[in-house]
Amino acid sequence: MSENQDPRPEDVPAAPATPSAPPVPPLPPTPGASTAPTQPYPGQSFGIPAAQTPEPASTAPARDRRIGTGKVASLLVAAALVGGAAGLGGTWAGSNLWSVADSSPAAGPSVVTVNNTDSVTATTAIAAKVVPSVVTINVSAGSDGGTGSGVVLSKDGYVLTNTHVVTLDGQSATPRISVTTSDGHIYAAKIVGTDPVYDLAVIKLEGATDLAPVTWGDSGKLNVGDQTIAIGAPLGLSNTVTTGIVSALNRSIEIASSAAPGSGGDSNGDNGGQNGDSPFFFDFGQGPQTQRSSESIKIAVIQTDAPINPGNSGGALVDGQGRIVGINVAIASTGSTTSSSQSGSIGVGFSIPSDIAQRVAKEIIDTGAATHGLLGASVRDASSIQGATITGAAIVEVTAGGGADGAGLRAGDVVTAFNGVPVGSAVDLTAQVRAAAAGSKATVTYVRDGASHTTDVTLGTLK
């Protein structure tokens, strides 16, 4: 049984121009497309600094030439025209991708390399747009350390990531944090605030200016089958891009978290010992772990088959137009998650939806902490009740004066939807309630005596 009134089981500038070289024939013109600058040379790398440019054309073959970021736009348009899928049209490329060339740093290693400009795809263009907005995070505390990823929220260095990344999964509240941007700049960073309930955190890079913030998308408009691209630093390999689709929506998972508040005296038997046996774990590149936490969190996630591995935590999941729709947080494993080794990607990864991540990030930046809803009832899986005919979250007890009580909910009711999202278990309900802000209103659909009803609930505040 999960106790909702308790915080633990609960209810639910541009680079210098390069030397001149023999011209390369441009891509064939496309009707309606704007004229692009000179096409890049094969082998060009986005973001390559002037210091790394090869010798002038008189001493270097044209096909080995690389150019600065000021000429990236032509390749981006080429990607839009050649890759043309996933909603990436010429108009979108002109209005959204040209800014990459204008704002890309003029120093540091290359970011996205293209060897054949005749076969660039939409994914190439998306990567060129988003990679500069994703950072690699290194965290250490004493002899412990790990790597994760983060997404840039502002030009002056606010970065969103996971709580388990910046606390080494709860092992340290004051770690040393080093952040490397995609162009190779390194910054020290401080924690602005953490949100263990939804495993999100905001850090601030010291002395950062002119970073490239992400463009947010609407996770509520995703469809199963939509293109997804995961960007981050799996296994410490920064600027890694993997692709896939949205495998499932409205998924909820329970995952062990050492940063989660303790469960006190509450019983969690309703979850069937999932804390110890759950196949889900944080995709965090950390040293060997000898044990897992007995505490857990319940979160609503987007499921994707874009390969995600340890170190992707806190990185971006973006859609076919390069808009961030999720923060990568966890992966599934077919092996034991209690061993010292972690399995690689099996095509089942999870991201916190952007709609939730945006709200939490704003609250942390504004106040240092995030709020979460409280229904005010204890619940269990309806399917665990003998004679059950439907799935959902069965209310066992209602807290007097709480949100559920005020909305007329009572013991025996089976919640089947929350704000229009289907609820099939106690974990589903808890995850959806926690995704909502404290004090917000929600619509609950429930079944009582075989009939379906709806009621509006004003959520309390999770303490």
Instruction: Show contacts of 28-31: CB within 8 Å, 24+ apart.
Output: 30/81, 30/90
Q: Which entry of 219, 238, 313, 333 is annotated as an active-site residue?
A: 313
**Rg for the chain (alpha carbons), in Å?**
24
| Pairing label, strands 373-374, 393-398 | unpaired
3-state secondary structure of 191: strand
Q: Which entry of 195, 199, 319, 381 is annotated as an active-site residue?
A: 199
**For 164, left (φ over 0), alpha (ψ -120 to 50), or beta?**
alpha
Instruction: Answer whether 407's CB lies under 8 Å from 457's CB.
Output: yes
Specify the residue for token string 């399995």.
Answer: 343
Instruction: Answer whether 211's CB lies under 8 Å from 157's CB.
Output: yes
3-state secondary structure of 404: helix
Q: Which entry of 45, 74, 164, 425 is annotated as an active-site residue?
A: 164
The reply to whether 313 belongs to the active site is yes
Contacts of 58 (CB under 8 A, 6+ apart): none
Alpha carbon distance 153, 81 (integer Å): 29
Tell me the β-bridge partners of 41.
Answer: none
Specify the residue for token string 């981050």.
Answer: 232
What length does the chain have?
Answer: 463
Phi, psi of 80 (to 5 degrees): -65, -35
The reply to whether 199 belongs to the active site is yes
Q: Amino acid identity of 78?
A: A
Alpha carbon distance 77, 121 (integer Å): 10
Q: What residues act catalytically?
A: 164, 199, 313
